């Protein structure tokens, strides 16, 4: 008799244990208000509005005292196992969810500081990655001329970098639960893992690039909030 294997589910995982030092704010940036609600809640709501997502997990530090006032009563589970780095936070969550998630479930890891995510972008990622064994990620092709600065105090242009084949990574980034856990566990140099796709690439695999949208920008500096609000207040995708 052939063993029945349940179909893969699509699971959202939002690491939210960071402190957002570059925002120079009085609280972690994921809790700063953007267009009327906490930045993190925008990301959560995008996943809750997507019929493709089976469940959403938010990962915070053990002593986070703000998350209870942000997550809705249903559809989201808070995991208090955040680590010192983003990579550690995600790996801790995957370990904690062993036995809850199937190895072939697809995990969509999304930055808490990207409030412009939409159900349409989630669907595009899922549909275009399909069954690609190395997973995939939203990203934007580089369209501006890229300059490399010379070393030193002054910001002087040293060279023009060819932009052909260059993309700016966004999130969500989607991989099977087993592959993502393996990639993060085996990362030889955690400092080199700047996103989940870089951990997959370190295994010699090539995730699929799926064109995202400028509205899905990452809020890093205070001025980014105004840009995010422009997109959130004018539905464009």
Q: What is the pLDDT of residue 184?
A: 97
Q: How far apart are CA 15 and CA 79, in angstroms?
A: 9
Could you state, in chain order, the average pLDDT of each consecutive group of 10 residues for the chain (237 residues)? 77 87 66 96 98 98 95 96 94 97 98 98 98 98 95 89 96 98 93 93 97 97 95 81
In CATH terms, the superfamily for domain 10-231 is Spore Coat Polysaccharide Biosynthesis Protein SpsA; Chain A (3.90.550.10)
What is the separation of C-alpha 81 from the centre of its chain, rounded to a whole number of angstroms?
17
The alpha carbon dihedral of 172, 30, 45, 219 has a sign of: negative
Q: Is 54 helix (H, G, I), strand (E, B) or coil?
A: coil
Q: What is the pLDDT of residue 43?
A: 98
- Cis-peptide into 24, omega within 30 deg: no
Kind plus residue range of the DSSP H or E element containing 109: strand 106-109
Contact 106, 175 (CB under 8 A): yes
pTM for this predicted structure: 0.93
Contact 114, 43 (CB under 8 A): yes
What is the separation of C-alpha 105 from the centre of its chain, rounded to a whole number of angstroms?
17
Beta bridge partners of 136: 174, 208
Q: What is the pLDDT of residue 25?
A: 55
């Amino acid at each position: 008799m052939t063993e029945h294997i349940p179909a893969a589910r699509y699971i959202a995982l939002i690491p939210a244990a960071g402190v957002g030092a570059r925002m120079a704010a009085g609280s972690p940036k994921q809790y700063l208000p953007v267009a009327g609600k906490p930045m993190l809640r925008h990301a959560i709501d995008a996943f809750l509005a997507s019929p493709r997502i089976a469940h959403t997990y938010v990962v915070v530090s053990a002593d986070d005292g703000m998350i209870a006032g942000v997550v809705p009563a249903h559809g989201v589970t808070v995991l208090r196992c955040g680590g010192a780095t983003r990579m550690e936070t995600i790996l801790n969550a995957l370990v904690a969810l062993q036995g809850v998630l199937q190895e072939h479930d697809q995990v969509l890891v999304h930055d808490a500081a990207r409030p412009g995510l939409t159900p349409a972008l989630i669907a595009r990622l899922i549909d275009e990655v399909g069954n690609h064994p190395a997973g995939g990620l939203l990203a934007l092709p580089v369209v501006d001329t890229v300059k490399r600065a010379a070393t030193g105090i002054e910001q002087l242009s040293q060279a023009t970098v060819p932009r052909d084949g260059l993309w700016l990574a966004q999130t969500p980034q989607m991989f099977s639960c087993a592959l993502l856990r393996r990639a993060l566990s085996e990362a030889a140099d955690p400092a080199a893992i700047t996103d989940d796709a870089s951990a997959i690439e370190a295994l010699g695999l090539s995730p699929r690039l799926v064109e995202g949208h400028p509205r899905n920008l990452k809020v890093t500096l205070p001025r980014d909030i105004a840009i995010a609000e422009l997109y959130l207040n004018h539905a464009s995708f």
